[in-house]
A and B are shown apart, each in its own frame.
Chain A
Amino acid sequence: MSKISLIIEREYLSRVKKKSFILITVLGPLVIGLGLAAMVWLSVTEDVNHKILIIDEKAPAFNNIQDTKNIKFNYANDMDLQQSKEMFYESDYTCILYIPKNIEAGNIAMLYYKKQPSGTVIRGIENQVEGVVEELKLFQYKIDPEDFRAVKTNFTLNAVKYSETGEEEKLDKWKTRIGLGFGILIYMFIFMYGVQVMRGVIEEKSSKIVEVIITSVRPFDLMMGKIIGVGLVSLTQFALWIILTLGIFGIAQATVLKTYYSADKISEQIQTTPEIAQEMQEQGNGDKTGLLDPNNIINRTNWPVMIALFFFYFLGGYFLYGALFAAVGAAVDNETDSQQFMVPVTSPLILAYFFAITTIIQNPEGSIAFWLSIFPLTSPIIMLVRVALGVGEGGIPIWEVALSMGLLILGSFAAVWFAAKIYRVGILMSGKTSYKELWKWLKYNNG
């Protein structure tokens, strides 16, 4: 067995066998899976039945408020707000809805509660009251409701990409969100495992074992062995996370959530959440939540391409940053000293993340998006957001993706070359290192 594979084996096994690795690997999906399950569970079960007392100073205008499945409205015809508040805690009402006399001027009503009702309940009430206020105003302004509905405009500007060959595609927010998800995953993994590479180098350096090892192997092999070994750990953890998360969520769904979690429930949920409903409508997506619908986002994403590119950009980005983190580790004696060199290494990564969640997701085809998706230090995150739109026809031009991939490969090689030069000298040095010294190390010809 060659020496570099021995090193990879040690780096891999020593990490995978650690208690902390096993703990994070098991706990991570448990937390994510249970969290997901809890979110679904909460959102569908939280709405206990509400009994709401309406203090209507505008009576009888609001007599028409409709009960829903879990909200019952009662009218307090003989009580004012003060009185109702006084008896609130003796009654079984969960909320008091107070409609002031001047509601059509102020556009404000009050909801007093004992325990905060869910957003769905509040929005449900809001919608009903808004409807009534609208009717009131129409009446006051002597506008025929029919006319009003005819005039009322819910304007949408449809931004559509018109490609050279005449195909049309809407800017698809859901697609870029999926891309962003991948991008953030890459960001997290590069950070987590890049730092592990750095720690490993510092450990070898500060324990002085490095001097023993480099009499058996070339420093370059030692560095690459570590980067590859830790990279394999990250892939292992990633794979285990996916399997475990799906497993836990699947089990939760099959047992606890079975009664609550169904397509009907979900679509009802979406209907009563106006923002989502509106957005889905904008997407021309209506209530097409079924997995069989070709318009569902799950089905509109080109998974093979996304997953292939995810692995490419993850590995490319990991090698690039892993090498830089190794160089940082070699330049310092302990982790506290690493701060000064960490900043330049991590800032492009953090910058890419911030651009991804702000500018890029809004405008994935702008010039900032283009340049950041070409630049190797940011492309692993940014390009993932962009390629979610599709590659080639109607999406990101193939040449852009090819250029970005090519530059990332070149960038990784450059980073490894640069890191190897720093590493070779740095692992034998002790004490504080300055940038000036790093520059000198780069120019050394023979160790």
Chain B
Amino acid sequence: MNPETILSIQGVTKRYAKHTALENISIDIPKNTIFGLLGPNGAGKTSLIRIINQITAPDEGQILFHGVPLNISHESRIGYLPEERGLYKKMKVGEQALYLARLKGLSKQRAMELLKFWFDKFEITDWWDKKIEELSKGMQQKVQFIVTVLHEPELLILDEPFSGFDPINATLIRDEIMRLKENGATIILSTHNMSSVEEICDDIALIYKSRKIIEGSVKEVKEARKENIFNVSFIGDKVKFSQALWIDAELIESKKVGNFETAKVRLLNDKTPNDLLQALLPHVEIHALHEEIPSMNDVFIQRVNEINNETLEEVL
């Protein structure tokens, strides 16, 4: 195991009465990174998170935290923001935050210091004596976020962290997540909304139907899936453009955007963008050329289609 791995999930399987929630999942999560745990709803993400949080136990496999099997003493080093947020509705904000912080093992004094810091930072000091039920949903989410990160956990698990936030607060939270990483924390982001996290994740694992189907750094995963498609913006004749293409450069689509024509070209047989430029330069005026990198969503859909075809073949 890589010494830089903070959490090593090894062959974890979890079965419920009628279905298997996780099937032999192995993932290594590198220290001090933002790790995206991606997959559609019902794929098994929450089951896995609950096992990492020791809420439930796996039927098979184990999880190592800094190389040691997970145990109760690790609880105070992990922070968890569940997908279904919840706080005591009738309890005052400050009292509640203090209580949850102390349950995580902070002393009363230390908890108060940290709470003061975070309440100042989020400019919510005057909420201290309000009851949770008096706050709006977005406000409650802020409190919940503070409670999650307050005890300065080494490992933060955030399940759908951006749901329920307006764009301004979502940005605020996102900046906080980045800052926590800078300060040395490792963060697992679990979401079905892949576009919301692909820019901030270093590594991802994609879970689909209880299995891990893709794993790796965001860059690698996307690179591996790119199809040598290039977007070209140019000024000139569309017909000349297509005539300039040869057999290994296939025009997929083109459209006019403002003064520019843009075309999508797939290069085959190891042709490079230089080859493409050489062919085009004499005929049109090139303004931009960039490779099309698939989005995480595209990667996911592609992979799911592959799997479905495989299983179809297996069945056949």
Contacts and interface: CB of A to CB of B under 8 A. Distances in A.
B168 to A, nearest CB: 25
Contacts of A447: 55-57
A158 interface: no
A210 interface: yes
A208 B55 contact: no
Contacts of B87: 207, 209, 212
Contacts of A211: 55, 80, 82, 84, 86
A6 B99 contact: yes
Given A6-B102, A209-B86, A216 B55 contact: no
Interface residues of A, number: 24
Interface string B247-259: 0000000000000
Interface in B46-69: 50, 53-57, 59
Given A216-B100, A446-B56, A208 B91 contact: no
Contact of A208 (B78, B85, B147): B85
A212 B82 contact: yes
A212 B88 contact: no
B86 A215 contact: no
A214 B80 CA distance: 10
A134 interface: no
A125 interface: no
B75 interface: yes
Interface in A398-447: 428, 440, 446-447
Nearest to B147: A212
A208 B86 contact: yes
B89 interface: yes
Contacts of A428: 50, 55-56
B45 interface: no
A213 B55 CA distance: 10
Nearest to A427: B55
Interface string A196-209: 00000001100111
B104 interface: yes
Contacts of A212: 80, 82, 86-87, 100, 144, 147-148
Consensus secondary structure, chain A interface:
helix
A210 B80 CA distance: 12
Contacts of A10: 99
Nearest to A217: B103
A216 B104 contact: yes
Nearest to B108: A1
Interface in A183-232: 203-204, 207-218
Given A216-B75, A217-B103, A207 B55 contact: no
Given A440-B17, A446-B56, A447-B57, A213 B82 contact: no
Contacts of A1: 102
A208 B100 contact: no
Nearest to B50: A428
Contacts of B76: 216
Given A10-B99, A440-B17, A447-B57, A215 B84 contact: no
Interface residues of B, number: 31
A440 B17 CA distance: 9
Interface in B241-285: none
Given A215-B55, A446-B57, A210 B103 contact: no
Contact of A215 (B17, B75, B89, B144): B75
Nearest to A7: B103
A133 B133 CA distance: 75
Given A207-B88, A447-B55, A215 B78 contact: yes
Interface string B138-149: 000000100110
B99 A215 contact: no
A3 interface: yes
A347 interface: no
Contacts of A204: 88
Interface in B213-246: none
A338 to B, nearest CB: 19
Nearest to A1: B102
B56 A216 contact: no
Contacts of A209: 86-88
B100 A215 contact: no
Nearest to B102: A6
B103 A6 contact: yes
A219 to B, nearest CB: 9
Contacts of A213: 100, 103
Contacts of B72: 218
A211 B78 CA distance: 14
Contact of B86 (A6, A207, A217, A218): A207
A14 B99 CA distance: 12
A216 B84 contact: no
Contacts of A207: 86-89
Nearest to B90: A14
A6 B87 CA distance: 17
A446 B17 CA distance: 13
A216 B76 CA distance: 7
A421 to B, nearest CB: 14
B221 to A, nearest CB: 30
18 contacts: A3-B103, A207-B89, A209-B87, A210-B86, A211-B55, A211-B80, A211-B82, A211-B86, A212-B82, A212-B148, A216-B100, A216-B103, A217-B103, A218-B72, A428-B50, A428-B56, A447-B55, A447-B56
Given A211-B82, A212-B147, A447-B57, 14 more contacts: A7-B103, A14-B88, A14-B90, A207-B87, A208-B84, A210-B86, A212-B148, A213-B100, A215-B53, A215-B78, A216-B103, A217-B103, A428-B55, A446-B56
Give 6 nearest A-B pairs by CB, closest first.
A208-B86, A446-B57, A209-B86, A216-B103, A447-B56, A208-B84
